[in-house]
Each structure stands twice: as structure tokens, then as C-alpha cells.
Amino acid sequence: MEKLSLTKHPELLLTIILAILSTVSTIYYFHQGTILAYGDAESHINIAKRVVDSLTPGMAQLGGIWLPLPHILMIPFVKWDFLWHTGLAGSIVSGAAYIFAGYFIYKITNLLTGNKIAGLIGAFIFALNQNVLYLQATPMGELPLLAFFLASIFYLIKYFQDSSNIPVLIFAAFFAFCATLSRYDGWFLVLFEALAIIIFYFRKPSSFRELEGKLILFATLSFLGILLWFIWDGIILGDPLYFTSSPFSAKSQQNSWLTKGELPAYKNLSNSLAYYTVTSAANIGIPIAILSLLGLFIFLWQKRSMQRLLVILLLSVPFTFYVATLYIGQSVIFIPQLTPASFEWRLFNVRYGIMMVPFAAVFTAYFWSQWRNRIGKFVTLLLIAFGLLYYGLNQYGMPIVLADGTLGLSASKHPEAQTWLAGHYDYGLVLMDDYARTISIAKSNVPMNNMIYVGNKPYWEDSLKTPEKYARWIVMQKGDAIWNGIYENPQVQPLLYKYFYKIYTSPDILIFKRQA
């Protein structure tokens, strides 16, 4: 049997190295205790956990706001409490997505340059990015989206190179379908991919029938995820547009910033452009961002073909998406370089910039591949290495995405009440408004199937009227649904004091326990 040579199979070598990098990085952040640094990270893992372990388990626990695929992928792992408590169930999914994404950056770069070493350079620019290395250790949804996004783009570029190859068009549609079920950025991706297909055929009016057939084939699968999400929200939550109209949606959150006058990019195109450009550069690092722009210019300069324009259009979809959503007020980013000092927070959602790292990786590698002499190649490699170490635009002494998760508004809260409950909880059901993120469930020692939250509808609704019906513990935070519905509700409050006694008090959080 022929010996498997790693140098002859760079894909295999790359996969092994990526797996090692992913594991080492995850172990590092596990020991640092930052896997669940983001408040959202724990929410993601909790959603997956509730599908299998909850008072009312089932797929309905996936909810209707966050797209479900990353949570579905975590389900096989969250069954083990250790993987849930630590967040490692999410790290496994993000880690696998990281390997997948790195692999497809290699494939895309290789496709554009015809050079396997350039492919490896592109993959490593992505894989060694410190922000990427941190996020791939967490349960956040960015890495799964990136993986599907890159796979879809790769197959679509392949299709543009040989339009008789129907399977690659189906693969592009399938991964786009997965992307649409991972994050809302994916919805923009499929729109732009469909647009790219139209542009591709637009040059040849004679092939209108072919365009019609191929576009329908692509769109039927790639848009299916969006349709399913509307149907899901309609059936489970009674409103197909629940994800955008509910009080838990991003739009509602952005409205609260707007009323405070802290939505600087809203209806301001230059601010929207500036915010996302700076955020992307902060994620990529200034040196590599510059190299990638040089690569982009050369890519366009050499041959201004339609295919090249389509490649740029597809790889820059995240840029268009975030600029557009910042402009219409559907998303918000705070970054110290641009956010006024008068704002309550100056670091929030900077991880959105990570979506442009593949763009930078591909075009930086492209830039490297265009050097004819070794010195040029060597100097470029040195600059890349420097760029991977020095980021600029980051005063935190740690990856800016991690800084956002530990120091910024994205960070999860760890109030003293959480430690107290972890030490005193014995048994019984706990009533808590999880949406208000009063305390971390994963770190509170309470089994998930002992929690009553808004997703356990019959238990939750009954408990707000008759708190003693199920709960042994009640955890409330000033202003949350339980505080307003029970503590401040004159009709229910007497029941609270009749059946429960206050066992923990802090300025914001109160904990009640059932009387003996």
C-alpha cells in the first residue's frame, strides 16, 4: 500500500494542523475560563441544552429569534453536563467549523491562484488570526456561518468556471442553505449569490432558459432555510416575522439604543462605512488588511473579467451586509476608535469584523502569489507574520474579540448571587427570567430541567400567576419579567410572601426560597 505522504496531500496536512490549533486554543481558553465569556455564548449553549434537558424538552426550545443550525449541531454534545457547564459542546462545533472554514479558504485561494502554497498561506492567515482562534473556542455562531459561507462561495466560483457542473451548483446551494440557518448574514449571502448567477448569465442573453433553470435550482434549495424559518416562527410562535418583531429581537434592542441617542451609524452612510471598516481592520490587523487591499488591486488590475468581479462581490458580502444593517439600525457596533467617550459603552459587537478575515486571507495570499522573485515572497511572508502578531487598533493586550467578551458590553455578568446560588441550591424548580440573564444557569449548579423560564410556557405562565405552584426557588432581577410580574404585582406579591421567604438580597437581585 502506498504510504500517505503529507507533503503530497497538503489538504490533509492542513486539516491536521488546523485540528491541532483548534484543540490547543480551546484548551488555552478553557483554562483561562473565557469560553463562556460572552453572554450570548451561554445563551447559545443553553438553547441547545433545553432541547434535550428541560421541563418541556423538544425542538420548540430552539425558539424563534436566533437561527437554529448551530444549536442543532450542539445537541449531540450538550447531553453531557460537563460539556454544557464548560461550554465545550459549543467549542466542538465551532472548532469543527474552524477546520472546515480554513480548508475552504485553502480551496478558494488555490482556485484563484492555482498555487497550493498560496492556498496554505491563505488558510493560515485565517487560522492564526487571534480573534478567530478565540471565537472558534466558543459556542458563538460566527464560525459555523463562516464555514458554510466559504464552502458555498467555493462551489459557486467552481460553478462559474464550469457551468455544466450541476453538482457544484447544488453544493453551493446546500451550504448557502446551511448559512441561512446559522446567522442572518447568511440571508444576504444567498441574495448576493443569486445576483451573481444572474450577472453571470446576463452576458449571454441567448442562455436565458439556462439561467432560469439554474437559478431556480439554486434558489429552491438555498432560500429554503429562510422559508422554513418563516414557517417555523409562524407555527411555533404564531408570527412568521417573530424574529424581527418580538421584544427579544435585535431590532427591539437597537431601538433602545436609538432612544438613548447611541446608534451613531443609523441612517448615516459614512458612519456605517467607517464603523464596519475600522471593526474589520481591528479584527484582521492593519498590516494584513493593507496587504489584502494590495492583493485585491492586483487581482482586478491583471484581468478585469466578470468572474473576478463576482469573486470580489461574494467575498465582500459581509461588508455589504454589516454596512447595510448598521445603516438601517438592525445592528450596532461600538469600537473605541469611533465611539464617542460620552457613550455608556465603547466596546460592543466588534466580533462582526471577523467575517472579513477570509476576504483578507484570500487576497493577502493572492498578493504573495504574484511575486515572481523569492525576495518579494519572503518579505511578504515576513509582513504577514508581523501582521499576525501586531494588530494595531487594539489597546487591550488581548484579542479585541476577547476584550469585547470580557470587558465590553458583550461580556456575561457574574453577580455574587450566582456564586451564592451555586453554593446553596439543593433541589427543586427554579423560576427565573433567563432572557434578562440574571445569573448564569450553566454556572449556578441548577440542572437545566429544573429551570422554569419563558420557554416552558405552561409552567412559566402558571408560575407568574401562582408562583407556589411549581417553584421552590425564585430568582429575580430589578426590571425583569418576574420582578414586574410577581414582586411588583400587588395581586401576586402576597402569594410570594405567603409561600416563600427572601433568602438572598442584593441591590439588583433577590432570591426567594419556598417555606418549609
Shortest distance in whole angstroms from residue 194 CB to another protein: 15
Task: Name the residue nearer to another protein (CB basis): 6 or 216.
Answer: 216
Question: Of the ranges 105-113, 119-127, 208-216, 417-425, which one interacts with another protein (CB under 8 A)?
Answer: 208-216
Cα torsion 472, 474, 475, 477 to 10°: value is 180
238: left (phi over 0), alpha (psi -120 to 50) or beta: left
Going by C-alpha positions, the residue among 299, 311, 307, 300 that lies closest to residue 370 is 299
Shortest distance in whole angstroms from residue 148 CB to another protein: 18
Shortest distance in whole angstroms from residue 246 CB to another protein: 23
Phi first, then psi: what are they for 81, rounded to 5°?
-60, -35
Task: Specify whether the CB–CB gap between 96 and 34 falls below 8 A.
Answer: no
Cα torsion 82, 88, 89, 93 to 10°: value is -170
Query: Could you say which DSSP state residue 56 is in?
Result: S
Question: The C-alpha cell of 94 is what?
Answer: 465551532
Task: Name the residue nearer to another protein (CB basis): 167 or 428.
Answer: 167
Q: Of residues 19, 60, 228, 298, which one binds another protein by CB under 8 A?
A: 228
Task: Specify whether the CB–CB gap between 510 and 440 falls below 8 A.
Answer: no
Question: Of the ranges 32-40, 205-213, 373-381, 461-469, which one interacts with another protein (CB under 8 A)?
Answer: 205-213
Task: Name the residue nearer to another protein (CB basis): 217 or 407.
Answer: 217
Q: Does 158 bind another protein (CB under 8 A)?
A: no
Q: Of residues 17, 19, 224, 422, which one binds another protein by CB under 8 A?
A: 224
Shortest distance in whole angstroms from residue 153 CB to another protein: 21
Question: The C-alpha cell of 112 is what?
Answer: 484563484
- Count the residues of the shown chain that bind another protein, applying the rule CB under 8 A: 16
Residue ranges of alpha helices (H) inside 65-115 are 69-78, 81-86, 88-113
Task: Name the residue nearer to another protein (CB basis): 56 or 466.
Answer: 56
Task: Specify whether the CB–CB gap between 142 and 131 falls below 8 A.
Answer: no
Q: Does 448 bind another protein (CB under 8 A)?
A: no
Task: Name the residue nearer to another protein (CB basis): 67 or 101.
Answer: 67
Question: Of the ranges 106-114, 140-148, 165-173, 236-244, which one interacts with another protein (CB under 8 A)?
Answer: 165-173
Pairwise CA distance, residues 478 & 291, whole Å? 50
Task: Specify whether the CB–CB gap between 56 and 457 falls below 8 A.
Answer: yes
Question: The C-alpha cell of 61 is what?
Answer: 426550545
Shortest distance in whole angstroms from residue 150 CB to another protein: 22
Question: Of the ranges 143-151, 204-212, 317-325, 504-512, which one interacts with another protein (CB under 8 A)?
Answer: 204-212
Q: Does 210 bind another protein (CB under 8 A)?
A: yes
Q: Does 198 bind another protein (CB under 8 A)?
A: no
Q: Of residues 217, 286, 454, 495, which one binds another protein by CB under 8 A?
A: 217
Pairwise CA distance, residues 502 & 332, whole Å? 38
Q: Given the DSSP bridges, would you call strands 451-452 and 509-514 parallel, antiparallel or unpaired?
A: unpaired
Instruction: Draw the binding track, 53-92, toward another protein (x: CB under 8 A; -: no contact).
Output: -----xx---------------------------------
Q: Where are any strands of DSSP class E within 126-231? A: none
Contacts to another protein by CB under 8 A: 58-59, 166-167, 170, 209-210, 212-214, 216-217, 220-221, 224, 228
